[in-house]
Amino acid sequence: MSGRDAAEEQTAEREARYGRSLTRGALINVIGLLGKLLYPVLILVLTRLFGAELMGAYFLGLTVVEIGSAFVVTGWMDAATIYASHHVEDAETDARARAQMNAVVGHLLGYGTFLALAVAALVQLGAAPLIEAHFPDYDALLPGVYYLGWCLVPAVFGQVVAAAAKAHLAMEWDALVGGLRPILLLLTGVVVWLLDGGLTALFATHLVANLVLALVAIVPLRRFFDPRPVLAAMLRPRLDRALLAFSIPQGLNRTFVLYVTRLDTIMLAAFGTDPARLGWYATASYLTSNLQQIRIVFSTALAPLVARHHVRGERRQLSALISRTSRWTATLVAPAVLILAVLRDDVLALVDPSYVGPESAFVLLLLVPPFASCAFGLAGNFVAYMGHSRWNLANSLTVAGLNTALNWALIPRYGLAGAAGATAISTVLVITFQQLELWGLEKVRLRLAAIRAPHLAFLVGVGALVALGGDPAHAGSLGSRLGLAAGLTFGFVALAWLLGHPELRAKLGGRADGAD
């Protein structure tokens, strides 16, 4: 066998191994997703127990802590997966590589912990005057918001360690940590209600949940790393310019991306929206944004694979990977969007009977960001996983400024619909920039032929809803709406199959298109 043939065989074996790892990681993340799907159940139960008015303030606090968590945690998480991946394969036999791997994880834990402590102290000192000045109708946030600040400290440990385990292609720990969180919040929330607690106690449950998850993360730390050198590096982190040059822009980028999708809730509160209506909007926003978990199931499994392909300069494989995975995510999200467009009032009424009416059309605009994210948003993950976090930061910062201006202009005039429209426009712009950057920086792109089937089938479904006339959420009885949703789903699958969707053809029979 020639050297070239041997190299090609090694490449084929490696791609097959990576493909199996992606499939395994995605399946594990699906299991974690089942836990995360308890977030809608959490919202339903807490709203039923505590009422829409209290939940409006709860969502406002939750929005702020989500943005804070993105700032404090996410950059270090992504760096842990990517930079630990650089040493994992050699760490089994090379003591120096293992020491470097441990140092990467320890330094990232140290950076994150010190940042979390600083943010928690800032919340402790600054939350009261900020709420008094800009959110006078939401003074019930105090003192509970302090718990939300301090919960960031254990969150760093649990999430960074779980992310580092992915470098070993052990996706289950990230899925476990993410899936357990809503379960813990649900259980502790019910306990708070049984003890006649209020908003402050509900916020305290986030601190309890993150402490438990930090304890869980000790297991993968011991399994995949050496705890003593990791903790030593955590307590005395060395200045690593490469880690910081990636992690800080990436964390800021993830913060601004979340800011774009969550600013609407904050701005509605700042413009004086009463807590009950804010609870309606925030509930719809959280339920629809939960669809993005479809993309996250795959994107989290992709991180170590993209990093390894990128190190080898395998651009053709990267284009095939993003095209194939985007086809999967688009296929899953498209029927979900069609179903929610029809059943949105019925779903929201399960949370609170007042969450219905003609004004619920704003939910249609809230469906735009999760669809765009699942169908095209993997480009942002690829750009980050290839080390270009500064480019992601530049476009998210630009769009965050635009989103602020749009919310400022549209909310006073259009209310809930204005907030949803501003978020939809901003999200589409972010994803457009990410696609352009992926091609401009790495010459990696989505292949239109590979994603054609689910997108054309989805457009036909949207066209069918428009052709029916009127708002499908208010058409006929519940039975007729369920029938319409089922018909749209069946039609989507059938049309995608006819268009040569490879995975549907493989499962249902027929000749696949073959484009990847």
Q: How far is CA 320 from CA 93, 177, 326, 392, 498, in A?
A: 32, 30, 10, 22, 22
In contact, 400 and 319? CB cutoff 8 Å:
no
Short-list 240, 46, 206, CA closest to 120: 206
Count Cα atoms within 13 angstroms, Cβ side, for 202.
27
Which long-range contacts does 356-361 make (Cβ < 8 Å, 24+ apart)?
A: 358/471, 358/474, 359/415, 359/416, 359/417, 360/284, 360/473, 361/417, 361/471
Supply the angle between the helices 172-194 and 3-36 in degrees, to the nearest 10: 10
Contacts of residue 56, Cβ cutoff 8 Å, sequence gap at least 6: 269, 274, 275, 276, 277, 278, 279, 282
Instruction: Determine the Cα–Cα distance for residues 125 and 12; give it in Å rounded to an integer.
Output: 57
CB atoms within 10 A of CB 500: 17
In contact, 213 and 184? CB cutoff 8 Å:
yes
Instruction: Determine the Cα–Cα distance for residues 505 and 507; give it in Å rounded to an integer.
Output: 5
Burial status of residue 165 (CB atoms within 10 A of its CB: 0-12, 13-18, 19 or more) = buried
CA geometry: angle at 25 spanning 261 and 245, to 5°? 55
The DSSP 8-state label assigned to residue 168 in this structure reads G
Instruction: Determine the Cα–Cα distance for residues 118 and 198; give it in Å rounded to an integer.
Output: 27
Supply the angle between the helices 152-165 and 52-69 in degrees, to the nearest 10: 60
In contact, 329 and 374? CB cutoff 8 Å:
yes
CB atoms within 10 A of CB 405: 12
Instruction: Determine the Cα–Cα distance for residues 512 and 65; give it in Å rounded to an integer.
Output: 45
Q: How far is CA 215 from CA 209, 252, 256, 275, 511, in A?
A: 10, 27, 29, 35, 50
Short-list 71, 150, 87, CA closest to 117: 150
Q: How far is CA 378 from CA 278, 294, 302, 307, 403, in A?
A: 30, 11, 10, 14, 21
In contact, 434 and 379? CB cutoff 8 Å:
yes
- With tokens 């946030």, the residue in question is 141
DSSP assignment of 294-359, as one string? HHHHHHHHHHHHHHHHHHTT-HHHHHHHHHHHHHHHHHHHHHHHHHHHHHHHHHHHHH-TTS-SGG
Instruction: Determine the Cα–Cα distance for residues 401 and 388; give it in Å rounded to an integer.
Output: 21
What six digits make up the tokens of 127?
């939350």
Contacts of residue 175, Cβ cutoff 8 Å, sequence gap at least 6: 28, 29, 31, 32, 33, 35
Instruction: Determine the Cα–Cα distance for residues 240 and 110; give it in Å rounded to an integer.
Output: 12
Burial status of residue 53 (CB atoms within 10 A of its CB: 0-12, 13-18, 19 or more) = middle
For the chain, the helix, strand and coil percentages under 3-state DSSP, each to the nearest 5: 85, 0, 15
pLDDT in tens, 268-323: 999 989 888 999 999 999 889 889 888 887 887 777 778 777 777 788 888 988 99
Instruction: Determine the Cα–Cα distance for residues 46 and 142; give it in Å rounded to an integer.
Output: 19
In contact, 481 and 346? CB cutoff 8 Å:
yes
Instruction: Determine the Cα–Cα distance for residues 33 and 381; give it in Å rounded to an integer.
Output: 18
Instruction: Determine the Cα–Cα distance for residues 175 and 171; give it in Å rounded to an integer.
Output: 6
Short-list 430, 266, 260, 286, CA closest to 347: 286
* pLDDT score, position 4: 56
Supply the angle between the helices 275-289 and 416-442 in degrees, to the nearest 10: 30
CA end-to-end span of the chain, whole Å?
A: 29
* pLDDT score, position 35: 60
Query: So where are the chain's domains?
Result: 31-238, 252-516
Per-residue pLDDT tens, the chain, 516 aa: give them: 555 555 555 555 555 555 555 555 555 555 555 666 677 888 889 999 998 889 989 989 888 888 888 899 999 998 998 888 888 777 778 888 899 999 999 999 999 999 999 999 999 999 999 999 888 888 899 999 999 999 999 999 999 999 999 888 777 888 788 888 989 999 999 999 999 999 999 999 999 999 999 999 999 999 999 999 999 999 999 888 889 988 988 888 888 888 888 889 999 999 989 888 999 999 999 889 889 888 887 887 777 778 777 777 788 888 988 999 999 999 999 999 999 999 999 999 998 888 888 888 999 999 999 999 999 989 988 887 887 767 777 877 888 888 899 999 999 999 999 999 999 999 898 899 889 989 988 888 889 889 999 999 999 999 999 998 888 888 888 999 999 999 999 999 999 999 999 988 887 775 655 556
